[in-house]
Structures are given as structure tokens and as C-alpha cells.
Amino acid sequence: MLERILEHKRREVKAKKSARYLADLKARIRDAPEPIGFYQALAGPRRPTTIPIVESPRLIAEIKKASPSKGILCEDFDPLTVATTYHEHGATALSVLTDKEFFQGSLDHLRAIREKVPLPALNKEFMVDELQFYEARAHLADAVLLIVSALDRAQLIDFYHLARQEFGLDVLLEVHYEGELDLVLERLPEVRIIGINNRDLTTFVTTLDVTLRLAKRIPGNKVIVSESGIFTRDDVKRVVEAGVQAILVGESLMTAQDIGAKIKELIGREEEE
């Protein structure tokens, strides 16, 4: 499935490329406000909130209508309403799916959310081309996702430095296997945020054991994000005990009847007995 998505993404980007489109993106970027610090939100002091929450982990709450593995997650989908609810209930940052073909997302969703909701936003996209970084910044992204298994070594390094140095974006570098993590730590020692995807993007097999196995190999000066497969308070406890500082949660929030209650279940302070 990953290769199918990447092949479609390459065709999609190629079809959009034009001098006029790039000029329009550059003009939008010139008029855009500076990015909000995605890394700082995860690593710095927690923002004030009326919701009692535990000290750890920080919640990156994901906004997506559908996924290849689960189909439609939310029929009555209003991305801005979802993002506002996340903000009101203590989310630290947002992850916004912008792929249309497989996730029914949109760059317009990202921009609309960032214009109204004062939380840093990750552009959750399959990055395969430099043009996508212009799109991300033009639509007010504060961070981008780089999936190690989706890029060759040269692309990974080039894209990381492009995001950080050219666009001022934070980068969530996503790994699933030990070899991918070793590559990141060896070739990009300056990386600040490492995401551990508990889902194999080829088979869709998901297990928190991936986080438990990889987190202990990551130096203490990195922010570790556990992604996918987090549905209960016990799941949260398992990854936090492994050294995780943040969790990225999408499916269990998007399918919840009461999003606020689900957030409280995951990161709220437990009631005293």
C-alpha cells in the first residue's frame, strides 16, 4: 500500500507543477505569518488549559476523514470543528491529513484550521517532492512529516535540511524499524523529533511493541512521539513508561462519540479514589 500511495503522489505532484503555481505558492509564503514552534510545543512548558491533565504525554491530535486501512472514520466531517474541539480539550498540537486520494484530506483544511485554531499544525502528507514543502508552508503548516521508509537516503537528508533551513519548519521523522532509526541517528544527529509508527505501512499490522522496542534506543535529548494503535489509557501508560513524551492519535479520536471525553480518558488526570 505504501508504494501505491507514493506512486500516486508522484503523479499528483507532477501534474500540479507549473511556473505559475510555484509563483502563487511563493507569494502566499511571503504573506504568511511565521510558523508556530511545533517542537517547542512538545518540548516546552505546557500551554494553560482548564482541563486537568497529566504532565505527560503531550497530545498531537489528528484530523482525518478516512484511511486506507479503515475506510471512512467520520461521516459528518467538519475539520475546523474537530480542530477547535481538540484545542478546547487540551491537545498540544494538531496533525492534519492533506492527501485527498487515500485520506480524503485537503491543503485547504490545513489552512482553514491554522487561520482559526492557535495550535501548531503538522502537515501529514507523503512528501516526495520539493514542491510539497512550498505547498505546506503556503497553507500555514508549522511542521512536516518525513517517512524514512518512503525516501532514499539522499532525499531524506535533503528534505530534512530543506524543511528546516529553507522553510523554517519543524520535522517529524517517522521510523518503524531499527535500521531506519539507526540511519536517522547516524546521518541526521541534529533531528529533534522522532516519531515511532506502530503500524507497518506495508502490511498495516499495528503493535505498540514497536514503540517499546525502539524508544529505548533513542537518546534522551530527542522528543519521542508514538504514533498509531493508541486507543486506551493503558496504551498511553505503556508508551509513556517506555520513554515517550508525545502521542499522535487519530482513529480513536475521529471515531469517538464524544471527542472531549476521549481526550480526557487518554491524557486526563485520573480521578482520585
Q: What is the pLDDT of residue 118?
A: 96
Tell how strand 71-72 and strand 93-97 pair up: unpaired
Tell how strand 71-72 and strand 66-67 pair up: antiparallel
Q: What is the pLDDT of residue 271?
A: 47
- Tell me which residue of 251, 245, 197 sits closest to 57, measured CA to CA: 245
> Rg of the chain's alpha carbons, rounded to an integer?
18
- CA pair distance 8, 59, nearest whole angstrom: 30
Is 51 a residue whose pLDDT tops 70?
no
pTM of the model: 0.93
Mean pLDDT rounded to a whole number for the chain: 93
- How far is the first Cα of the chain from the last one, in angstroms, to the nearest whole number? 46
Torsion 50-80-128-199 (CA) sign = positive
Q: Cell numbers at residue 171, please?
A: 520535522
**pLDDT, tens digit, for every residue of 155-199?**
999 999 999 999 999 999 999 999 999 999 999 999 999 999 999
Cell 498511553 belongs to 236
Q: What is the pLDDT of residue 237?
A: 93
Q: Which of 72-81, 164-173, 224-233 has the lowest mean pLDDT?
A: 72-81
- CA pair distance 39, 247, nearest whole angstrom: 13
- CA pair distance 243, 96, nearest whole angstrom: 25
Residue 240 is classified by DSSP as: H
Q: What proportions of the chain, in percent to the nearest 5, are helix, strand and coil?
A: 45, 20, 40
Residue 115 to residues 44, 151, 252: CA-CA distances in angstroms?
Answer: 23, 31, 25
**pLDDT, tens digit, for every residue of 79-128?**
999 999 999 999 999 999 999 999 999 999 999 999 999 999 999 999 99
Structural domains of the chain, ranges and CATH numbers in brackets: 2-267 (3.20.20.70)
